[in-house]
């Protein structure tokens, strides 16, 4: 067990909420506003943690336990993430499968908690979430297959540390396709425009945001913090794919990685500013298209 390995999860736990601050700042600049403080989410989290909570009379134990379980899932995900050449603290062969399943479990409990309230809104969000989840999972796994085929290892840490400038010369097309597919999944799984709109509270267009309407106090803090960690997890995957840093010294890797995460946040902000939200019927096409990109990458790799 190496101490430097724990820098990455620690960085994720500390800086993940900042990503949403950056996204909101970029969106504000595009709209000509000053925007909320960069640290707004931290303020919100601390405020919520000091409050009591309110539950619906229809609810049971499920909604009380769900925030802790889903946050635990995402925290474990951050333990599986490598950092350029640095291995993840909990890395083992096959951890990529576990990553997908932990995110799946987080989704599962969130959906159950949404149904627990008996609200028509939350039922609607839950129903959409499982639909898009069923399409996003094959896309995610096909992307993983490309990486396994490319690197010949089953551990995320080994896959990422195998990526170098030489990989870019031989199979740049694979990395670009998979990274693009991962970015689409990032937008989907984190309810960003053009899939979902995190700002349309109480509109009939939402997916993820509507499922958490009935949380309050510390529970809502857990949900918000979990959402920001999840955004970090997907951003870290994209950065690892696009920036070959395995051969650099550790301090340069750390700097480059954090810079990359920041750039992904800026990119999400730009995408949200210049694109409109898609009609719901178009979302499955986006997800199937993202799976198709990974499939193309697989075929390209097989033709080599």
Contacts with another protein in 110-149 (CB under 8 A)? 111-112, 115-121, 123-124, 126-128, 130-131, 133-138, 140-142, 144-145, 148-149
Site string for another protein, 264-293 (x = CB under 8 A): ----------------x---x------x--
Contact call for residue 222 and another protein (CB under 8 A): yes
Q: Is 197 in the site for another protein (CB under 8 A)?
A: no
Query: Cα angle vertex 238, ends 179, 114, to 5°?
Result: 105
Contact status: 43 vs another protein (CB under 8 A): no
Nearer to another protein, 91 or 245 (CB): 91
Measured CA distances, 288 to 38, 127, 134, 285 (Å):
35, 18, 11, 5
**CA–CA distance, 136 with 134 (Å, rounded to integer):** 6
8 Å CB contact between 122 and 111: no
Which residues between 59 and 88 bind another protein (CB under 8 A)?
59-60, 62, 65, 67-69, 71-73, 75-76
Q: Which is nearer to another protein, 72 or 267 (CB)?
A: 72
The distance of closest approach from Cβ of residue 226 to another protein in the complex, given in angstroms and rounded to an integer, is: 10
| Torsion angle defined by CA atoms of residues 117, 122, 128 and 131, in that order, rounded to the nearest 10 degrees | -10
* Cα–Cα distances in angstroms (integers) from residue 115 to residues 20, 105, 119, 268, 293, in the given order: 27, 15, 7, 30, 34
Q: Is 189 in the site for another protein (CB under 8 A)?
A: no
Among 7, 28, 100, 176, binds another protein (CB under 8 A): 100
């Amino acid at each position: 067990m190496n101490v430097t390995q724990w820098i990455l999860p620690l960085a994720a736990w500390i800086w993940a909420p900042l990503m949403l601050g950056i996204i909101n700042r970029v969106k504000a600049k595009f709209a000509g506003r000053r925007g909320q403080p960069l640290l707004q989410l931290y303020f919100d989290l601390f405020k919520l943690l000091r409050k009591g909570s309110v539950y619906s009379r229809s609810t049971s134990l499920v909604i009380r336990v769900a925030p802790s379980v889903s946050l635990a899932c995402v925290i474990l995900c951050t333990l599986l993430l490598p950092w350029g050449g640095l291995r993840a603290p909990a890395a083992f062969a096959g951890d990529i499968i576990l990553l997908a399943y932990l995110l799946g479990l987080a989704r599962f409990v969130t959906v159950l908690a949404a149904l627990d309230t008996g609200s028509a809104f939350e039922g609607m969000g839950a129903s959409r979430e499982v639909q898009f989840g069923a399409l996003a999972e094959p896309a995610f796994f096909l992307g993983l297959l490309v990486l396994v085929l490319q690197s010949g290892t089953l551990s995320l840490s080994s896959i990422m540390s195998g990526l170098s400038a030489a990989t870019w010369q031989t199979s740049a097309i694979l990395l670009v396709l998979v990274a693009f597919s991962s970015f689409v999944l990032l937008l989907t799984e984190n309810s960003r425009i053009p899939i979902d709109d995190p700002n349309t509270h109480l509109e009939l267009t939402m997916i993820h945001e509507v499922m958490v309407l009935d949380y309050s106090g510390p529970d809502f803090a857990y949900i918000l913090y979990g959402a920001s960690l999840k955004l970090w997890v997907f951003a870290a995957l994209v950065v690892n794919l696009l920036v070959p840093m395995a051969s650099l010294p550790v301090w340069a890797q750390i700097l480059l990685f954090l810079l990359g995460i920041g750039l992904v946040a800026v990119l999400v902000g730009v995408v949200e500013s210049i694109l409109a939200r898609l009609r719901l019927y178009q979302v499955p096409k986006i997800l199937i298209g993202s799976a198709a990109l990974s499939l193309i990458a697989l075929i390209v790799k097989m033709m080599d």
